[in-house]
Homo-oligomer: A and B are copies of this chain.
């Protein structure tokens, strides 16, 4: 999309504290991840055709796959009725979306006992793709 048309589209959206939630799913209807975008990362997404999110913890824009090479190519962009969330259909390049080694970040399911259990198979070794440092940071973010 041209940068003019991308700006036109962005101007119609409602951002809260500068952010809008963005869901990425693949063509089979599998939800891969949920992130946030600010205006700039959305413009980058629309003009390059690759998903760019805004990291609230790192406070910066990142292109999905910048480290792993596992980019997300945009196939379709949808908006909700209130113009305050986005749904992207993407082609997930590489082995998966999740930095823990899974196709989707939603690889755990809640049981009736109130615990999360893995229900997806690991697709790749995240240490090989991201190196150990990134994983250490992520583990700190996890509470369990």
Q: Footprint of B on A, CB under 8 Å?
A: 1-2, 4-9, 11-14, 16, 21, 23, 25, 28-31, 33-34, 46, 56, 76-85, 87, 98-100, 102, 105-110, 112-116, 119, 138, 141-144
Chain A facing B: main interface SS? loop
Contact partner of A142 among B1, B30, B82, CB < 8 A?
B82
Shortest distance in angstroms between A29's beta carbon and chain B's nearest beta carbon?
2
* Contact A116:B12 (CB < 8 A) given known A83-B144, A100-B81, A142-B82: yes
Determine the distance from Cα of A142 to Cα of B80 in the docked complex, in whole angstroms: 10
Determine the distance from Cα of A1 to Cα of B15 in the docked complex, in whole angstroms: 34
A7 touches B87 (CB 8 A): no
